[in-house]
Amino acid sequence: MPEKVIVTGGNGFLGRWIVDQLIKRTDYSITILDIFIPADAKPTDRLKYITGDIMDLTAMCEAFRGHDICLHVASPPHHFPAETFKRINIEGTQNVIDACLSEGVTRLIYTSSASVLQDGLPLENVDERIPIPDTFIETYSETKAIAETMVLEANCEELMTCALRPSGIFGPGDTQATPGFMDVMKKGQHVLQIGDNSGLFDWTYVENVAYAHVLAAQKLAPGSKANGQAFFITNGAPIPFWNHPRALMAEINVVAPYMIIINFHVAIIIGFLSEMATWIKQMLGKEAKEGFTRVRVRYVSSNRYFSIDKARAILPTADGVVAPTAHLLLPIPHHQQQQPYHKEKITRFPVLSILVHYFRRKGVFMVLACMGVIAYLHYRFLLPQPLESPSLDYGPDMREGYLEKMSRLRRIAMDLSKIQEPPITDPGSVHDVGKDGYESSGKDLNALLEKEGLYSKWISDSWRFSDPLKRHQIQFQFDSMGDENTQVKKQKKDEQRQLAVKKMIQHAWAGYFENAAPRDELKPATGGARDTIHGWGSTLVESISTLSLAGLLDARDSAKQMLLDHIQEHQWKVVRAPTTQGRRYSKSLKSGQEEELDFFESTVKYLGGLLSIAESDPDRNSEVLGASTALAEKLVQTFKGPTPNIPDRDSTPKKRWTMVSLASIGTLQLEFRKLSQLTENKTFENLAQANADYFASLNLKIPGLFPVFFDPTTGPSSNYIASFGSLSGSFYETFIMTGDERFKQLYAMHKYLISYPRKKSGSKFVLGVYDTRSSTLVPKMDHASCSASGMLALGARIFGRTGDIRVAEALMETCYMNYQGSAFPGLGADEIAFLGTESSQGREYETTGSKSPGYIVIAPKYRLRPGDEKYQDYAWNIVQVGSEPGGDELEKKKKKTRAIERHCKTKYGYTSLANVMDSTEHRLDEMPSYFLGQTLKYLYLIFSPPDVGSLNDYLFTTEGHLFKY
């Protein structure tokens, strides 16, 4: 009986070739699922057509019912908008997976792309062992990489999966590459060549790719080596890139009268100007397709070819078929590559050739002049890229791409003219700034904070965590105010809301424990699981203190036991490499090569969590400390690099850059010192002390503000970017908590990082990003900037910086404005930037929501982050800010808890939102571990009496773990 195969996107270019290959084999019955049925469709007893959209899960399930194999080919062409890629390639692929599992489809072959490795760097005969990069230079490649990872992670006994990565598909029926070349020829641009044509490229004949899909379907079987694997599919014969279009021109008798060779770097500049021209047309409301871009320049100029040894070894007879247009595969001899077609028409002066070429085209000089003006505005008003590295990671959290986010900031800022430059200081609205860049305190705050018994200094010349610690008066002395204070305490204690948050904790924990434990995180929309940080059970370790505070002791004990059992099983071996949103699937440990630790996450999540457990559970102390020490000894190995006082790297050894973030090499003080205190092993404390000494000894351009990025070999650059954002905030917070007097300047940000937006934005202060090279400040804030308000409140008490309380309050107001301006009031975007008055006049956000003008959204996701909850808990417990009778701060938090419950709750837990500015946007199937570990913990404490999690008894680490004083 023939096997039933369903092909999504079967009416497209590649889909038709795949169907043709299947029809040639009598052992298949084929169903084509596409959004349209072509006019030349000819259904037969073995071939039928179904109209359907992969975004409709119900329709997908109906279509998939009764089939054995799915070939998932459907994907938008390259010129589609980014949002379309995200919806179809990611959400659509998830629907395909769900439909397969629901309807008993046993084999799934996904058409991925070789561009999943496209991060702008050359790729020379690379194979599948190269990990998917964390940063992409185009949305298509990124979404393909995410979808591929989803498919491979779905591999199981019920559904065997694999992914094929073709490169540069061409052939009859091509709707992209060949028509693109034809369009270039019609415009007379075939006389241009970018680069010297030395870069080899894998052009792949479409029949080879289609044949590989059939082979993969045959090979997937229980126990097969193909299961859960990705395969590059090419002709196995890379050629110089420009040989292919030249052969195409020769095929249709087109001859270039002369050739103009454009230098790679010149082409990059032209690509940027072309992108600006496209943007201008879009801003003027004109239709503008993406044309010549910097991505395409890199694409055609670099080596980009792949090894297919794995496909030949695992897929049967995978050497491919003979391409009918075999002459297109033959390389042109090197000595002929740059020869003109008609030598007599080549000028002796290349620059003059370019001028003559463009002079013949009407209006081109006017366009170039406009582009030059745009280039100047880009240089003048937008933050330059970081000097340290072109490939660094940064963003809304530690694992998101810095380059990606900064480039998005530049693009969005271009869309809205310009963003406000360095802060405009209003002497009447801010405090005086001293020589060291500190802000002097206002009289009203002095009167509040310097009352007897409400403030104490917590510093020493050489502070060590393992020394016997004294309990310092960090928290407000509620008992010192008599009957009046009793009323305030009642106002603070909201039993109804506290119970509501407790129920949220129970719901989130039950969904994770029953469906995902001991994996890292729950997929709350589908009830699945995913590993994002080594697969060690990050939600397990982060939830335990939250469960304990909420009085859910049975759940806490179950979590402890499962965590320790899981540690015993994996022995701190990395089963998942650290990735952006868990997108890279690392090699199995069965390969014999273990990935390196993510130093930051391993320290703050796992080591900190275990030490918190060890302190709170004397019965398990020995067992937990043993596991903690084993992990710490692995972490110590990273200090054997060129600079022994900082970790050499914070991720896998295959990453092709050497820069590390400030947070990743400095957020270790509390955990290492606490471990030495509990084990009486000075090794870890000494490392922490050496690390602190290293940072204290640096000669910085701005004392107290450290670079976001470090080179482990050479240290910080003389010019750098500083911020309190995702890649640096935890560093400052950690050193504030140590109380080391040498680091009092660590967060001296008033002169350089604080900006004061126009009244139109409705906020007070913005904690931005400062570039020391150009002495400019970009007023943008991410979630970590809101978390910094809690850090400032604590530092105000520890270091006597009373003015920081006011800054913390002002930052809170800014964050709250973001929360209120979304389509889900109470839930804010991950990252925003602020505008000057001129650029915000008459402009409104293009989607739904009540956001007032004055700022733009850079990263619209809401990812269940703790945000300002930590500050709100600190603010009350330190100085009673915002929760006095008649105040509305608690109401704001009530509103947030209701918003999470209403918009994020699922059957299994709570899910992130893809776009808080659009109420129709889909949910993300992810519940990060910090939701239980921090967000719900701080919400619970906000509505609890002040003696629950008292700041006089506990220190809350950057990851929300509780350390006893």
Instruction: Answer whether 963's CB lies under 8 Å from 954's CB.
Output: yes
Residue 140: active-site member = yes
Task: Could you list the beta-strand ranges (E) of 520-569.
Answer: 521-523, 528-530
The SS3 of residue 440 is coil
Instruction: Look at the alpha carbons of 820, 825, 827, 828 in this order and tell me if their dihedral is positive or negative.
Output: negative
Per the annotation, does 526 bind a ligand?
A: no
Catalytic residue chosen out of the listed positions 28, 110, 140, 874:
140
The rounded radius of gyration (Å) of the Cα atoms in the chain is: 30
Encoding tokens for residue 52? 């359907």
**Amino acid at site 384:** P
**Strand 123-126 to 192-194 pairing:** unpaired
For 314-326, write each residue's pLDDT tens digit: 986 544 443 333 3
pLDDT at 632: 93
Residue 376 has a pLDDT of 55
Q: Is the pTM higher than 0.85?
A: no
Give per-residue pLDDT as tens, 885-908.
334 667 777 888 889 999 999 999
pLDDT mean by block of 10 residues, the chain; 965 residues: 92 92 91 86 90 89 94 84 85 93 94 85 85 80 92 93 93 76 71 80 90 93 93 89 78 71 80 79 66 74 87 70 36 31 36 49 56 56 36 32 38 32 31 34 33 29 36 56 49 75 96 95 93 91 95 95 92 58 30 63 94 88 91 89 74 48 90 93 92 89 85 78 84 84 66 62 65 78 77 76 75 78 84 56 32 67 80 56 48 84 94 85 87 93 83 85 86
Q: Are 7 and 31 in contact (CB under 8 A)?
A: yes
Any idea where the domains of the chain sit in the sequence?
Answer: 3-343, 359-412, 499-583+890-944+956-965, 596-697
CA distances from 791 to 223, 511, 684, 735, 867 (A): 52, 32, 25, 10, 12
Amino acid (one-letter) located at 687: L
Q: What pLDDT does residue 350 have?
A: 44
602 DSSP assignment: I
Cα atoms in the Cβ-side hemisphere of radius 13 Å centred on 878: 29
Q: Tokens for 793?
A: 């409140």
Alpha-carbon distance of 776 to 767, in angstroms, equals 13
Q: What is the CATH number of domain 3-343?
A: 3.40.50.720
Closest CA to 30 of 50, 58, 54, 51: 50
